[in-house]
Amino acid sequence: MTNTGTANVRLSPPPPELMRLINPVVRRVLTTRSLGSRLRRQGMVEFTGRRTGRTLRIPVCLHHVGDETLIFTERPWRHNLAGGAPVTITHRGRTRHGRAVLVDAAPAQVGAAMRAAMDDGASPFELGLKVTRGYDPTADDLAVIARSIIRVDFED
């Protein structure tokens, strides 16, 4: 069983049914230079599914932690990136190519990376979290959340 949080911090991603309705609009906005360029963290990762061979275009939040670009998720599509896979990232109206890797990270590493993303201004919502009003989560609080890290290494 995976842990979804503590009393003050818990996993709270949008429901998949809602995402199926909203994602087509979000994809369109992200690929439009005039609108997509206004969104700081939102981007789209595009890659080929390992089993199906289908192209997947997933809206995500991109977090800059140190000199790395990271995506935090618990969604099943992340397993397509185990061992690394070529990706196209659309962010701020710009398209870049690279390789994304599902990182084999210990919970403490995930917590520290999520805390660093929050220190960079990421909201709990952008991290798929619900935090008690007025509470500032620690890296230890965030380490309890069942999340994975995807690291994006750009070619350029």
Contact 73, 113 (CB under 8 A): no
Position 76 scores a pLDDT of 92
Position 36 scores a pLDDT of 67
- Per-residue model confidence as pLDDT tens digits over 31-48: 877 776 777 789 999 999
- Tell me the C-alpha distance between 125 and 7, whole Å: 17
pTM above 0.85? yes
- Per-residue model confidence as pLDDT tens digits over 102-137: 999 999 999 999 999 999 999 999 999 999 999 999
- Residue 4: pLDDT over 70: no
